[in-house]
Amino acid sequence: MPIPLSERPMKPGEFSLLVLDFDGVMTDNTVIVHQDGTESVTCNRSDGWGLGLLRDAGFPVFVLSSETNPVVAARCNKLKIPCAHGHKDKLPTLDALLTERKLDGARVIYVGNDVNDLPCFARVGVSIAVRDAHPKALAGARLITSLPGGRGAVREVCDWILDSMK
């Protein structure tokens, strides 16, 4: 059973990378389809602010998404966060990232919300599901946020990491 994020002590320097899913984590999992067929999503500015604070503190962040919509890259570009999107099977991309950066998966935090995140959950040191994640993602995560995806969950994780760096 996952425990709340606030109840897990974290030692400074214990982790070296935060990997985030996009839809359902950085968004509330809603897609708006316009009459011309284009899609848009809603993101939380507080989440973006937290990611900026992490970046400024020198803690690396990466977004890994199965979504092909260019909104993923656009949002990550604005936040100055590297991303890989359009990857239905995320684990090979995560493994390649870890190899490229010479990182041990045990030193990675991964935040997800659905069943396609489960293989990545099993590969990292700390798996976090957002409060409103799919039940299988909640069951597969080590920790859960108190806030839902797209509604402050990312900021909660950022603050948790930043507090551990003090």
- Whether residue 1 is predicted with pLDDT greater than 50 in this model: the reply is no
pLDDT of residue 65: 96
User: Is 3's pLDDT higher than 90?
Assistant: no
Q: What is the pLDDT of residue 166?
A: 76
Question: Global pTM?
Answer: 0.93
Per-residue pLDDT averaged across 59-73, rounded? 93
**Mean pLDDT, rounded, for 39-67:** 95
Report the pLDDT value the prediction gives residue 14, as an integer from 0 to 100. Answer: 82
pLDDT of residue 12: 46
Examine the pLDDT at 2 and tell me if it is beyond 70.
Answer: no
- What one-character-per-residue DSSP string does 10-51 give? --TTS--EEEE-STTTTB-S--EEPTTS-EE--B-HHHHHHH
Segment 44-69 mean pLDDT:
95
Q: Give yes or no for a contact between 97 and 105, defined as CB atoms under 8 angstroms apart.
A: no
* Whether 146 contacts 160, CB under 8 Å: no
What is the residue-averaged pLDDT of the chain? 92
Query: How far is residue 44's CA from residue 130's CA, in Å, rounded to a whole number?
Result: 14
State the average pLDDT over residues 115-130.
96
For position 13, what pLDDT does the model report?
62
Q: Does residue 10 register a pLDDT over 70?
A: no
pLDDT at 165 over 50: yes
Condensed to tens digits (0 to 9), the pLDDT of residues 102-119 reads 999 999 999 999 999 999
Q: Count Cα neighbours of 86 within 13 Å in the Cβ-side half-sphere.
A: 5
What whole-number distance in Å separates Cα of residue 166 and Cα of residue 149? 26
Helix (H, G, I), strand (E, B) or coil at 144: strand
pLDDT in the model for residue 69: 87
Task: Determine contact, residues 60/18, Cβ cutoff 8 Å.
Answer: yes
